[in-house]
């Protein structure tokens, strides 16, 4: 004689197991969809800074002490004036999100190939907030006014000798995340004048995997 109570219990257990499997699959699918949506949002906020085009408009820069300069497209600026060192670069944001520059540091030359990203603690904060709109041209600038500052000697020798100067910029998106470090090289245009050309060399992602 069939034990209908046992059969009913087994059927109920089987149905519960099927429902649990379906619920688990649904949750995993929802998690994947949420992760994809989060990645899409982050990608829409992500900036990427490179050197500007040659045909980019000339910009007038004014430092906090009143020093000023005109900066053409794809140009760098390095000057020692009245004992102060002034630096600038014409840049553009090719990413879809607003870029916020957090800090900068000079890099020893010649460069060596390394997969390791620079330490954010080594960067000097910007005195002035610098924002770079998506798809637009803007600038980075800084100054070192104390000859005893280690940054001054490191860069001033290269400027006087008309040698390449490498600058790392630390920046992120408008929400304070997705930090990136981009390395720019300021290269003498010629030995006969004081003009410099700006080129981007390398990028590191700090808050997400690197693309390479």
**3-27: per-residue pLDDT in tens?**
666 666 656 766 676 666 666 666 6
Structure tokens at 83: 């004992």
Q: 69-78: long-range contacts (C-beta < 8 A, 24 or more apart)?
A: 71/139, 73/137, 74/197, 74/198, 75/195, 75/196, 75/197, 75/198, 76/165, 76/184, 76/186, 76/187, 76/196, 76/197, 76/198, 77/141, 77/186, 77/196, 78/155, 78/159, 78/165, 78/186, 78/196
**143-163: per-residue pLDDT in tens?**
999 999 999 998 999 999 999
Q: What is the pLDDT of residue 62?
A: 96
> How many residues does the structure list for the chain?
212
**38-67: per-residue pLDDT in tens?**
677 777 889 999 999 999 999 999 999 999
Q: What number is the average pLDDT over the span 182-197?
A: 91
Q: What number is the average pLDDT over the span 100-126?
A: 85
Q: For the chain, which residues make up each domain, given as ranges? A: 1-45, 49-205
Q: What number is the average pLDDT over the span 114-130?
A: 89
């Amino acid at each position: 004689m069939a034990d209908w109570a046992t059969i009913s219990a087994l059927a109920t257990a089987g149905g519960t197991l099927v429902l649990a499997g379906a619920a688990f699959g649904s949750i995993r699918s929802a998690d994947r969809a949420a992760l994809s949506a989060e990645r899409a949002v982050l990608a829409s906020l992500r900036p990427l800074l490179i050197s500007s085009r040659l045909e980019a408009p000339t910009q007038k820069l004014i430092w906090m002490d009143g020093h000023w300069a005109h900066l053409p497209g794809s140009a760098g600026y390095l000057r020692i004036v009245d004992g102060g060192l002034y630096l600038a670069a014409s840049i553009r944001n090719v990413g879809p999100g607003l870029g916020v520059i957090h800090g900068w540091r000079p890099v020893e030359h010649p460069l060596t190939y390394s997969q390791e990203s620079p330490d954010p603690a080594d960067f000097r904060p910007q005195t002035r907030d610098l924002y770079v709109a998506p798809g637009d041209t803007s600038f980075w600038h800084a100054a070192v006014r104390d000859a005893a500052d280690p940054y001054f000697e490191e860069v001033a020798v290269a400027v006087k000798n008309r040698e390449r100067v490498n600058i790392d910029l630390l920046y992120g998106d408008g929400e304070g995340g997705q930090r990136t470090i981009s390395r720019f090289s300021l290269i003498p245009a010629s030995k006969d004048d004081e003009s410099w050309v700006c080129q981007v060399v390398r990028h590191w992602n700090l808050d997400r995997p690197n693309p390479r």
